[in-house]
Amino acid sequence: MQAQDVFTGSFTQQEPIPEEGIAAAVEVMRHGRLHRYNEAPGEVSQTALLEQEFAAQMGATYALAVASGGYALATALRALKVQPGESVLTNAFTLAPVPGAIASVGAVPVFVGVTEGLVIDLEDLAEKIAQTGARVLMLSHMRGHLCDMDALMALCDGAGVQVIEDCAHTMGARWAGVLSGRHGVFGCYSCQTYKHVNSGEGGLLISDDADLMARATMLSGSYMLYGRHPAGPPESAYEALRYDTPNISGRMDNLRAAILRPQLARLETQCAAWNERYRAVEAGLRDTPGLTLIARPQAESYVASSIQFLLLDWPNPAIEAFLAACAARGVDLKWFGAAEPKAFTSRYDSWRYAPSAPMPKSDRILRAIIDMRLPLTFTLDDCALIARIIREEAMRGSVVLSG
């Protein structure tokens, strides 16, 4: 019997923090001023510098650094004065922190369907806007897939719906040349370990709206120190709200900001490296019987730190057998279609704090989604090997199904 290829690498091992980030973090630890507002005379904190650099990098007027991507999402909702009981639209295909942010402000997530391109279904979105009268869409660019942002914004602008972009998986991606996060009133980003920059946890918001960003800054816990936000609105923007906006502390600290700044400086290079790995796996999986790759629109400049494919209409036992066979050969795949949530994979009907009704077209797609991380610690040879293993096991499963 011929020996099978086995992958022995780790799907959770990230690259080390750049040496410049380590040196900057050590300097922060040596002087001890970890809190963003604890500055020596004449000093601009690492967090304030990060905000300035990120605003410039994204082409945004304002930026705010916070404790996590989920906190950024909830802060954006609060800045828009979303009220308890209010309907907020979001993708059916997303991760738990997105509906969690909506629920955290007492609002009600209303799920919108998903297409085979793994993006929000614009027809269903139009229907849900009409049904609910919702004024906010929290748009999740889930797993790095961008919908037709021109069409989406035309729909939302026409209906008076404000868009918060969840860019946790699309930092550096573009639609028709426009950076992800630059279409909506807020762009929200995550700096959690498995995102495009890594500070363990952390988040960033951008906006061009002075009133909204002033409110977000107060909400983040600025006290009356908003003047120490050089990437924030002018101090006059705070006059009407500084006594009436609650402090819901969630600031980023200088240690995490120091780690992030050199990573953001090399983001473009890192994005290109992720895409190389994505294309290597994609090439190895192309034309595999029973396996559907995700078509990427020409207008989308993606950042692929993970890859997804569909096993459309495979019965659950066949998918489970395929996943087990890949795992036995060292390939760690996640299944968003499982009946019970596992680790970070879950479906809209798993979040029982949010009412939902079945969406048959979307449910067929969600049941079929297989997901895999692409850490930069993989070589291109690793990616070719992984694709070969997946292809062999998918073909084996497809033969069983057809027989």
Same domain, 201 and 129: yes
Strands of the sheet containing 178-179, edge to edge, are 178-179, 174-175, 300-301
- Domain termination residue (choose one: 244, 265, 286): 265
User: Does 186 lie in the same domain as 43?
Assistant: yes
Q: Considering the domain boundaries, does residue 9 fall inside one?
A: no
Parent domain of 302: 267-402
**What is the secondary structure of 18-62 as a DSSP string?**
PHHHHHHHHHHHHH---STT---TT---HHHHHHHHHHHHHT-SE
Residue 311 shares a structural domain with residue 261: no
The two tokens of residue 206 are 């951008």
The residue from 233, 250, 265 where one domain ends is 265
Does 241 lie in the same domain as 374? Answer: no
The answer to whether position 2 is within a domain reads no
Nearest residue to 100 (alpha-carbon basis) of 66, 72, 79: 72
Q: Is 101 exposed, middle or buried (0-12, 13-18, 19+ CB in 10 A)?
A: buried
Q: Domain for residue 1, yes or no?
A: no
In this prediction the pTM is: 0.97
Identify whether residues 41 and 115 lie together within a single domain. Answer: yes
Q: pLDDT tens string for the chain (403 positions)?
A: 456 899 999 999 999 999 999 999 999 999 999 999 999 999 999 999 999 999 999 999 999 999 999 999 999 999 999 999 999 999 999 999 999 999 999 999 999 999 999 999 999 999 999 999 999 999 999 999 999 999 999 999 999 999 999 999 999 999 999 999 999 999 999 999 999 999 999 999 999 999 999 999 999 999 999 999 999 999 999 999 999 999 999 999 999 999 999 999 999 999 999 999 999 999 999 999 999 999 999 999 999 999 999 999 999 999 999 999 999 999 999 999 888 888 888 889 999 999 889 999 999 999 999 999 999 999 999 999 999 999 999 999 887 787 6
In this structure, the answer to whether residues 237 and 285 fall within a common structural domain is no
8 A C-beta contact, residue 349 and residue 93: no
Kindly state whether residue 152 falls inside one of the protein's structural domains: yes
Our count of domains for the chain comes to 2
Burial class (CB in 10 A: 0-12, 13-18, 19+), 103: middle
We report the CATH number of the domain holding residue 174 as 3.40.640.10
Q: What is the CATH number of the domain that holds 283?
A: 3.90.1150.10
Q: Kindly list the strands in the beta sheet with 306-310, ordered across the sheet, starting from the edge strand earlier in the chain.
A: 292-293, 306-310, 369-373, 334-335
Domain-embedded: residue 319? yes
Whether residue 351 sits in one domain with residue 210: no
